[in-house]
Every structure is written in C-alpha cells, then in structure tokens.
C-alpha cells in the first residue's frame, strides 16, 4: 500500500546506505533489499533461493552455505560408489550374463546408469554453486551486490558477521516517523547549508 508521500531520509543516513522501501514503507538498513517473491525486506539480502523456497540473507546465510556444502559432499560420496559399481563389473562376464537377462533387468541396468549420470551432473553443478559462494564469501559480497556491482558500504563480511540482535521484541516500540526527517526540516537544513 503506497499511501501518502514518500518521506525524505536524512542525507547522513543515506550516505551510510539507508534507503526507503516503497513496498514495505520502512527505512531499509544498508545491504538490505526487498524480495518480490517473499514480499519482505531482508537484511543483508543475498538472493531468493528456489531450492529452499526462502530468502537467503543475514540470519540464514550460514545455514544455506551449510546446505549446499552438504549437498556437494553427498554427491561426492555417491559418485565414487556408482563408479565403483560399474568398474567392478567384468565386461566379458557381464555381457555374457546380460544376454541371458530379462527385459526388466535391462530396464533396471539403464535406470541405474541414468541415475549415475544425473548424480554426476548434479555434483558438477553443486560444485559450481559452492565455488561461487566461496568466492562471494572471500570477496565479502552478496550475490546481489556482486551481480549489480553494488559496493559493500558497511565492509561487513557475508558469512562470519554477527547475525545481529533479534528483530522483533514485543516490549520495544520503534516509531518509524522518528527515523525520517520531515521534508520541511530537510529544506530548512539544506537552505542553511547552502547559504
């Protein structure tokens, strides 16, 4: 709901990376971004992940990195098992036995071979994804910052930074009006600054 005029953010806050979110109607901190899939602003927004159907950001990036590391390790454990299975087969004996096998066993053999190929492709792709995120962690950038060449204003690391304080406390009320400078006050301060 875009009701009312857009407030003006103090220039000092703007230079520190604070922005106004037109959708959520809040002042976004540095490195936060609005996710159109989740319809929420996310702190240290990295990307919306279709595999976990969730935004990846400040509070769950290390879980996401652990997830893709686990997927990579699992794929790396399955590939040698499949390769060992196929390499242990004696080709002459196998061909002799396969000629006497029913059609359903051929189907099983081809299914196992196709599954092995799919697992190999998935392992290569997960290795690429994992390597990309290792690169992003080393560079101290999020996916969005890297793809759009946005500078890391806070110079805060991506993976090993603190998760920050809890974002919701029922005992604290923050007045959003206190965070924005009214337009008239901003005009006065700008006029005083230039004259």
Q: Confirm whether 127 is a catalytic residue.
A: no
Alpha-carbon gap, residue 162 to 29, rounded angstroms: 15
At 147, give phi and psi (nearest 5°).
Answer: -70, -35
Question: How many Å apart are CA 20 and CA 58, to the nearest integer?
Answer: 19
- Indicate which residue of 38, 49, 55, 127 is catalytic: 49
- The end-to-end CA distance of the chain, in Å, is 38
Query: What is the C-alpha to C-alpha distance for residues 141 and 149, in angstroms, rounded to an integer?
Result: 10
Residues 177-192, buried b or exposed e (16+ Cβ, 10 A)?
eeebbeeeebeeeeee
Q: Which residues belong to the active site? A: 49
């Amino acid at each position: 709901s875009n009701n009312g005029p857009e407030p003006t953010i103090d220039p000092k806050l703007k230079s520190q990376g604070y922005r106004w979110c037109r959708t959520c109607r809040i002042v976004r901190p540095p490195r936060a971004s609005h996710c159109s899939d989740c319809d929420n602003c996310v702190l240290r927004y990295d990307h919306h992940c279709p595999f976990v159907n969730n935004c990846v950001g400040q509070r769950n990036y290390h879980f996401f990195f652990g997830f893709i590391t686990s997927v990579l390790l699992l794929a790396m454990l399955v590939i040698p098992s499949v390769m060992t299975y196929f390499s242990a087969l004696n080709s002459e004996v196998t061909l002799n036995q396969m000629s006497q096998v029913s059609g359903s066993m051929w189907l099983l053999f081809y299914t196992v071979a196709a599954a092995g190929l799919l697992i190999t492709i998935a392992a290569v792709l997960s290795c690429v994804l994992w390597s990309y995120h290792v690169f992003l962690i080393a560079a101290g950038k999020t996916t969005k910052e890297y793809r759009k060449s946005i500078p890391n204003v806070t110079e805060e690391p991506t993976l090993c930074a603190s998760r920050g304080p809890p974002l919701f406390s029922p005992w604290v009320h923050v007045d959003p009006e206190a965070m924005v400078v009214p337009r008239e006050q901003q005009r006065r301060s700008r006029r005083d600054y230039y004259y």
